Structure 1
């Protein structure tokens, strides 16, 4: 027997929709904060280019600006790419599980 928490209009649908809403809101927060950090890094690079590039001083600003500018890209990719890959593996596992449960439905070789 399956309890109401895992089937039908019980807790499963509510919990899964709450989980998806929490996951998407945290994803949006990460994307927004990454965008702000990237803008700060780009601004730092632009400021260095405008003020210090002709004299080649304050060179510490260049790697620090690139670090701020490019790191959010890697963070966003590390958050988004696993979410894109997970459903396929779950579908493949579900299909493999169904085939193992019903061996009689497979065509027989004579």
Structure 2
């Protein structure tokens, strides 16, 4: 994402939950997704992959109007990030990136997608 396309969003902003909105979560002003990445699912829901404080690990959480559900913990961040990007691309009607297509072929990626109900095979 180009610098002029970056937008800072407060951690409590309803924009995080906008359907298809892909957001990098970062620990500083660099805008790099060093903490995590999320996609808004609409209706007050967001799927997040990245650093989790409890349990302290890398994982996937579904946030819904103040509540959260741990979907998976101790996951490979790069695979989880690719999964979030695939979901965002699907929501937004975009074609899949080459990197996401490569991750889709991996069994760990396929299992994570099954875990969050995105694959039925």
Could you say which TM-score interval applies, normalised by the shorter chain?
A: under 0.3
- Normalised by the length of structure 2, the TM-score is 0.22
Q: Which has the higher contact order (CA 8 A, sep 6+)?
A: 1
Structure with higher strand content: 2
Structure with higher helix content: 1
